[in-house]
Amino acid sequence: MELYHKVVGESTGEFSDQKVREILADYMDRFQSTDVDNRTFDLFSWEIADTFFPNDESVYSKMNDAMEQGEKITIDQINLKTIKDIGFTQFQMPLKIGSFVTWKDLFKVTSDLFILTSIIAILICSFVFSSDTSRNMNQLLLSTKFGRNKLTISKIIAATLISIFVFLFIQVISLGSFYVYNSGFTGWDTSIQTNFSLELFSFPVEINHLQVFCLAVVLHFISLLSIVGITIFVSSITRSPFSALTISLGLFFLPKALTQLFKRGMVYKLLNLFPINNYSIEDFLTLMSTKREFILNSFVQNIVVTLVVLLVMKIVSDGVVYLRMKQYQVT
């Protein structure tokens, strides 16, 4: 990581053809100044080189051949692609290049942790009502003074708050680990278009790493609430925690399986609203930036629609559970 942070520190700045040329010139010089056995892999520069080096010639073979003859290949001998050739989105302000490899790692870990958090929440919420049903406790509990209203509401709130605590706890641990791994938050203001690991060069919105991360956390948080709501509903209609858990996990993963059957059309777009199909940060950036994959043309509009739909799912689920348990008590 020492070489990575050193190279990033020297390379951070406005993204331009000249900046790319300088980064790759330094990369080629380092590559040819060290023998193979002592060479440290420079992933930052390698990703950029993989994008801008010409496809019709092997620059690495040329450098190795030159080294065997005691010579060096310079950047002037390479016909680099330009930013325009690659198709980077241009805005009024120049894009910024900086640390991106570690942020790609953070995005991947954050996405994976969402699945873990969701499964934990499903496990917790599966017991909310089904455990009482399995022990034939519903009639007794719902006949108490507070059974009709407060007990049901308290259970919904408690399950939701516990799930939120688990989510926040995991996020804090993850972010703290990233701070140590990345030696701070270097690269937070790097444009998402210049994250060469993600290859979102033509992404239509001017947004940086920190903004993407915050947006992902909000999406994951609202998604978790919808998952909690649906799981509590399933728990209220099943007779055992195991049944509630099995059905809830099935409902959680089902939309992913259905996208293998519906690969285009409105059904496919609606399936992409479900958390399992957009939890990956790279996926939701890609899916929500095009009408071919999502409902609307605008990335911002698609994000807003998704958040609203997920919130409505939570509210409706909780409302149905409350009314059902109230009716259960009456009957």
How confident is the model over 189-218, as pLDDT tens digits?
A: 999 999 999 999 999 999 999 999 999 999
Residue whose structure tokens are 């990581």: 1
Determine what percent of the chain is predicted with pLDDT higher than 90.
Answer: 62
How confident is the model over 299-319, as pLDDT tens digits?
A: 999 999 999 999 999 999 999
pTM of the model: 0.90
Higher pLDDT, 73 or 141: 73
What's the Cα-to-Cα distance from 146 to each of 138, 237, 326, rounded to whole Å? 13, 21, 11
Predicted pLDDT at 71: 84
pLDDT class of 294 with cuts at 50, 70, 90: confident
Q: Quick one: average pLDDT of 86-115?
A: 95
DSSP characters over 66-102: HHHTT----GGGS-PPPHHHHT----SSPPEE---HH
How confident is the model over 158-177, as pLDDT tens digits?
A: 999 999 999 999 999 999 99
- pLDDT higher than threshold 70 for residue 4: yes
Q: Quick one: average pLDDT of 270-275?
A: 92
- pLDDT higher than threshold 50 for residue 187: yes
Predicted pLDDT at 61: 87
Q: Quick one: average pLDDT of 128-134?
A: 71
User: Are the beta carbons of 81 and 51 closer than 8 angstroms?
Assistant: yes
- pLDDT higher than threshold 80 for residue 138: no
Q: For residue 121, what are the contacts with CB-CB under 8 A and spacing of at least 6?
A: 163, 166, 167, 224, 227, 228, 231
- Give the whole-angstrom CA distance, residue 93 versus residue 50: 25
User: Are the beta carbons of 231 and 121 closer than 8 angstroms?
Assistant: yes
Long-range contacts of 31-39 (CB under 8 A, 24+ apart): 31/60, 31/63, 32/63, 32/66, 32/67, 32/72, 32/73
Phi, psi of 86 (to 5 degrees): -70, -35
- Give the whole-angstrom CA distance, residue 175 versus residue 312: 29
Q: What is the average pLDDT score of the chain?
A: 89
- pLDDT higher than threshold 50 for residue 152: yes
Q: Quick one: average pLDDT of 231-255?
A: 93
Q: Quick one: average pLDDT of 80-103?
A: 93
- pLDDT higher than threshold 70 for residue 101: yes
Give the number of other CB atoms < 10 A from CB of residue 86: 15
DSSP characters over 185-237: STTTTSBGGG-TTTT-TT-SS--BHHHHHHHHHHHHHHHHHHHHHHHHHHHHH
Sign of CA dihedral 260, 262, 264, 268: negative
Residue 76 tokens read as 């002037």
How confident is the model over 25-79, as pLDDT tens digits?
A: 999 988 888 777 677 788 999 999 999 999 877 888 888 888 888 888 889 888 9
Predicted pLDDT at 67: 85
Q: Which of 31-45, 108-122, 188-202, 219-233 has the lowest mean pLDDT?
A: 31-45
Predicted pLDDT at 145: 54
Q: Quick one: average pLDDT of 271-290?
A: 91
Determine what percent of the chain is predicted with pLDDT higher than 70.
Answer: 93
Nearest CA among 124, 323, 161 for reference residue 235: 124
